Each structure stands twice: as C-alpha cells, then as structure tokens.
Amino acid sequence: MIKIQKEDFIPDKEINKIKNLYSNVGAVTSFTGYVRDINYNKKVELLNLEVYKEMAYKQFKKIISEANLRWKLIDCLIIHRYGKLYINSKIVLVSCFSEHRKDSLESCNFIMDYLKKDAPFWKNEYYKDNNEWLINSS
C-alpha cells in the first residue's frame, strides 16, 4: 500500500491494518523518519516538503515490485508526507511484511535506500531567519 499525504499517521495503526489481513506474517520491519530540531548545526523550525506526486506513486510501485522480486514479501507499506512539517513530525513510514525476519529487514532497508536516492521529494528547511533546499547525503 502506498500513501502520499499531508496528514499525520499513527504507525502502529497503519501497520496493524495490514498485519490483520494476513495470518502468515511472522516478521514486520518498519522505519519511521522524523523531522529533527538540529541539522548541520542549524536550528530547524520546520520543513516544507514538496513532492512530484504522480511520479512518486509510480516510483514507489516500481520499487515495491523490485523488492518483491528480491525477497519473499507478503506486503509492503509506504507512507510519505508532504507540506509543512514541524519538529518531531513524522515524515515517512516504510513497513515490510514477510514470513521470516531476513526478508523484511533487508527489503525495508532497500526501500529506504531507494527512497533517499530517487523518490521525487524535496525538503525546504526553514530556520529563524532563512531557509534552504536540502540534498540527501545518504
């Protein structure tokens, strides 16, 4: 399942919605990304996250398909927020559901690596007196 939304979400609730669909899930690995207060020694006030929504959907579908080819997965969940996000806000959730832990652990890491490198989102970080567009370093 893919969700690209402005709204906040509750990770456990989202994960359980999918987990409850399957009785053969033995492992769930999840990554949640948050807005930090300090970045490169600058005090952050908020992020304005821009997205190319149509492309992000298409690219997320592709990467989930690719993960399914590499690992034995039962389901995958990606939620990525956009818009104004304040300190401590959740930005992203990736959850991978499988029978065994290795498949969920490795696929979750794989999807996050892709997401950092290629998902069409841009963070505009706001400080007290100015703002700056970020580039992912990892």
Partner 1 sequence: MKIKYFAWIKDITNKEDEEINSEIIKNLDELKLFIKKKYPNLKTHLDKEILRFAVNHEYVINNIYLNAKDEIAIFPPVSGG
Q: Which chain residues interact with partner 1 by CB under 8 A?
A: 33, 49-52, 54-56, 58-59, 80, 91-92, 112, 115-124, 133-136
Q: At its nearest, how many Å lie between partner 1 and the CB of residue 79? A: 12
Torsion angle in degrees (nearest 10) through CA of 115, 120, 126, 129: 130
CB of 6 to partner 1, least distance (A): 15
Among candidates 112, 97, 128, which has minimal Cα distance to 20?
A: 97
Q: Which is nearer to partner 1, 19 or 90 (CB)?
A: 90
Sign of the alpha-carbon torsion through 28, 63, 49, 53: negative
Minimum Å gap between C-beta 27 and partner 1 is: 22
